[in-house]
Amino acid sequence: MQDIRPSFDDYDEINSPRAEQTDIDRVIETAISRRGFLGGAMSFGLGSFLVGSTALNRRAAAQTQGARFDFAAVEATTADTVTLPEGYEWKMLVKWGDPLHPDAPEFDPETRGTVESQARAFGDNNDGMALFTRDGRHVFAINNEYTNLDILWGEMAEGEAPTDEQIRKSMMAHGLSVFEIVEGADGWEVKRDSDLNRRVTTDTEMDIAGPAAGHDLLRTSADPEGMMSLGTWNNCGNGRTPWGTYLACEENFNGYYSSSEERAEDAEDTRSEAFRRYGINYSDWGYGWARVDPRFDISAEPNEPNRNGYVVELDPFDPEARPVKRTALGRFKHENAELVINDDGRVVVYMGDDERGEFLYRYVSEGTWAEGQDGGDLLDKGQLYVAVFDPEMTGKWVALTPDATGMSAPEIAIHTRIAASRVGATTMDRPEWVAANPSKPELYVALTNNKNRGVKPNEGGDNQDVNGPNPREVNNYGQILRWTPDNGDHTADGFEWRLFALAGNPVLAEALEGVTDAEMAEPADPGLAVENVYPGSENVTAGNMFNSPDCLAFDTRGMLWILTDGNYSDEGPFEGMGNNQMLAGDTETGEIRRFMVGPRECELTGMQLSPDGKTMFVGVQHPGEDGNSNFPDGGLPRSGVVMITRTDGGVMG
Ligand code: FEO
Ligand code: CA
Ligand code: CA
């Protein structure tokens, strides 16, 4: 797409007439003021609960307020290891390539495994995860989002093409890993001989359910009925249901498709509006999957991409269970799926679409759920909504109905982004994870960053002028937004919102006070311009600076854990922030404290607690993605799940 970024001089005229700027300044001030933390005009209803919150609340009540922040903040660092406060220690639970069956081979760092070994081992680049307990057994379901091809394939000579075997191996490294864990004298470990261990990959058969099932747009030569598909990939964040299933969210599914009909350099782009909006392109992102499986060739199978971009439900306790794609939850670059049960029993799912200028969604089921029931079909019949924010700290959920969008129900489920644009949804700064406070009806979403805010529209042409919850042009750092549904009712049309934190670099901002771009060398990247270095909100300090909040997760005490996937250069606007990190946020006072720093070039993602609360599991994804890490054991960098415990054996969270 042509870069239509105006010059900085143009900004005033296009985006920031003085009155509007003043309004946004006022919004920021109100949004992050202390009043915001103390409740202000926000209404907190009672009675709604998050999945599993009954047990959580019991434990929360047993713990004292004084236990919050029971650690000394760690400093930012670029060390190639896991850094924790004194009194805490870590070790690995599982790493990319570790076998999940007793007769599967150990990982070979020389070959980096084979198609067969990878299909029976923990996948690459773990992201969202959930730990389930049933009948005394503990099972992890974990997303393996994507692969670092340089690492998976090893160094390849310039111009060298991957072999078919290498391509198939990357397919087997994607998907989901499901495995049982047991606690021994030395802590938790993978139970390799469990009958529950399985991988879900690009080859796993799954069903398609909900309004899009069977629609013409889902029919392919392999599946003329449009009712099933093979596999899931690029599963980013996740969700879990109170009926004991796992929700894997398909995010950047588009990057795996390519076209055998190449586009000449000067030829017109003849892709459909939908392909353009979803980033389905003539070439893939280097994976080469179409070479070994023609369904990834969009000129041969133009409907195949319509079968990805969904939330996939899986029963982790049934290794034979077919996963189900729940199309009623919409098709977009799903980050996670935060599910709550409303007071009246209806299932409500909050979801972000992680791309610059895309939207925040909510699903409300038609039927209701009660303890002990199965619920999968509650995710098939319901209403999808998209969020519209106003600068007065309120917002509303707009239903994506045929009347409102001029599209049929199956079309809304398949081309959700286009439907949402038609009702005037508010463009957001890349919505990542949504987390629901377990003790009250209150939601948080990480808006990770957006270099295009105030620069150019989203891929659908929707404007990305600064707006209430996305108040900064060329947003390098990101923010955390929170909202409360009217009357504590998750199905209400309206809500009130505030910002919990605006990330930033207060140290650099202060140092640059009064310095202008003209006095600096003209930066090639607008993100490096002086005017785009922001100090952040008051709760962002020299001691806790971070950028690009991504994963959000509450612990049993109501502490909000913030995990970052941002710029780890430790330079320029990010100077002093070090590697990606995990921080704890007190949602009552607004205080944020750094707890963990990950190894080099990783992101931290996914946080789960053991049932006794004494082990915290955290995902370390893509360490050394640019070749500068040997995490965790001094050799080939490998993603994995870290277990953190207190040296005194106490409860983690
Ligand atoms: Fe896979 Fe939006 O992070
Ligand atoms: Ca993420
Ligand atoms: Ca990520």
Q: Does ligand 1 have an atom closer than 6 angstroms to the CB of 139? A: no
CB-ligand 1 contact for 354 (6 Å cutoff): yes
Calpha distance 105→121 (Å, rounded) = 9
Measured CA to CA, the distance from residue 456 to residue 464 in angstroms comes to: 6
Q: How far is the CA of 234 from the centre of ligand 1 (A)?
A: 9
Whether residue 3 is contained in a domain is answered as no
187 burial level (CB within 10 Å; 0-12, 13-18, 19+): middle
Report how far residue 140's alpha carbon sits from residue 190's, in angstroms, rounded to the nearest whole number: 9
255 Cβ neighbours under 8 A, 6+ residues apart: 234, 279, 284, 285, 287
SS3 track for 97-112: CCECCCCCCCCCCCCC
429 ligand 1 Cβ < 6 A: no
How far is it between the farthest Cα atoms of the chain?
A: 69
* Residue 16 CA, ligand 2 centroid: distance in Å: 31
The reported pLDDT for the residue numbered 1 is 32
Number of domains in the chain: 1
Asked if the peptide bond before residue 632 counts as cis, ω within 30 degrees of 0, the response is: yes
Ligand 1 binding pocket includes 436 (Cβ within 6 Å): no
CA pseudo-torsion sign 338, 547, 387, 127: negative
Q: How many whole angstroms from 251 Cα to the centroid of ligand 3? A: 10
Using CA atoms, how far apart are residues 32 and 319, in angstroms rounded to an integer? 47
Among all ligands shown, which has an atom nearest to the Cα of 639?
A: 3
Nearest atom (ligand 1) to Cα of 352? 2
Is 335 touching ligand 1 by the criterion CB < 6 Å?
A: yes
Query: What's this model's pTM, rounded to 2 decimal places?
Result: 0.91
Q: Which atom of ligand 1 is nearest to the CA of 333?
A: 2
Please report the pLDDT score of residue 29 as a whole number: 61
Supply the CATH number for residue 405's domain: 2.120.10.30
Minimum-distance ligand 1 atom for the alpha carbon of 354 = 2
CA of 352 to the centre of ligand 3 (A): 13
Give the other-Cβ count within 10 Å of 101's Cβ.
15
Strands lying side by side in the sheet with 443-447: 49-50, 334-341, 346-353, 360-368, 382-390, 394-399, 494-502, 479-485, 443-447, 431-436
- Per-residue tokens: 459: 């891929």
> What pLDDT shows up at residue 399?
99
Q: Is the CB of 603 under 6 A from ligand 1?
A: no
Q: CA dihedral in degrees (79, 81, 85, 87; nearest 10)?
A: -140
- How far, in whole angstroms, is CA 479 from its chain's centroid? 14
Three-class SS of 538-557? CCCCCCCCCCCEEEEEECCC
- Tell me the pLDDT tens digit for each residue of 279-324: 999 999 999 999 999 999 999 999 999 999 999 999 999 999 999 9
Rounded CA-CA distance 497/481 in Å is: 7
**Quick one: CA torsion of 69, 72, 74, 75, rounded to 10 degrees?**
120
Residue 2 domain-assigned?
no
3-state secondary structure of 273: helix
How far is the C-alpha of 166 from the C-alpha of 148, rounded, in Å? 12
Task: Please tell me if the CB atom of residue 251 comes closer than 6 angstroms to any atom of ligand 1.
Answer: yes
Retrieve residue 316's tokens.
């982790």
Residues in contact with 280: Cβ distance below 8 Å, sequence separation at least 6, in sequence order: 254, 257, 271, 274, 298, 305
Query: Cα(146)–Cα(151) distance, rounded to whole angstroms?
Result: 12
Atom from ligand 1 closest to the CA of residue 565: 3
Q: Comparing C-alpha atoms, which of 316, 334, 346, 348 is closest to residue 495?
A: 348
169: CA distance to ligand 2 center in Å?
Answer: 23
Domain of residue 641 covers 8-646
Regions of the chain short of the pLDDT cut 70: 1-68, 517-518, 520-524, 526-527
Residues 257/282, Cβ–Cβ less than 8 Å = no
CB 251 within 8 A of CB 238: no
CA of 432 to the centre of ligand 2 (A): 6
Q: What is the per-residue pLDDT for 67? A: 53
CB atoms within 10 A of CB 155: 8
Nearest ligand to the C-alpha atom of residue 552: 2
Quick one: which atom of ligand 1 is closest to the CA of 251?
1
Percent of residues in the chain assigned helix, strand, coil, to nearest 5: 20, 30, 50
Distance (angstroms) between ligand 1 centre and the Cα of 165 equals 27
Is residue 393 in some structural domain?
yes
Distance from C-alpha of 225 to C-alpha of 227, rounded to nearest angstrom: 5
Ligand 1 center to 97 CA (angstroms): 22
Q: Is the beta carbon of 551 within 6 A of some atom in ligand 1?
A: no
Q: What is the reported pLDDT for 61? A: 38
**Protein residues near ligand 2, an ion, with CB under 5 A:** 432, 550
Residue partners of 292: CB distance under 8 A and separation at least 6: 164, 167, 168, 171
Structure tokens at 66: 């004084």
Handedness of CA 24, 27, 29, 32 (dihedral sign): negative
432 lines ligand 1 (CB under 6 A): yes
Give yes or no for residue 353 CB within 6 A of ligand 1.
no
Q: Give a yes or no: residue 569 inside a domain.
A: yes
Distance of CA 377 to the CA centre of its chain: 24
For residue 335, the ligand 1 atom closest to its alpha carbon is 2
Amino acid at position 422, single letter: R
Closest C-alpha to ligand 1, atom 1: 236
**pLDDT tens string 275-290:** 999 999 999 999 999 9
How many Cα atoms within 13 Å fall on the side-chain side of residue 109? 9
Quote the pLDDT of residue 155.
Answer: 75
Q: What are phi and psi of 172, to 5 degrees?
A: -75, -20
Q: How far apart are CA 328 and CA 187, in angstroms?
A: 40
Contact residues for 92 (Cβ-Cβ < 8 A; gap 6+): 632, 640, 641, 642, 643
Retrieve residue 264's tokens: 């000449």
Ligand nearest to the CA of 251: 1
How far apart are the C-alpha atoms of 282 and 562, rounded to whole Å?
36
Q: What is the 3-state secondary structure (H, E, C) of 290-327?
A: HHHCHHHECCCCCCHHHHCCCEEEECCCCCCCCCEEEH
- Domain assignment present for residue 653? The answer is no
User: Is the Cα dihedral 262, 268, 273, 277 positive or negative?
Assistant: positive
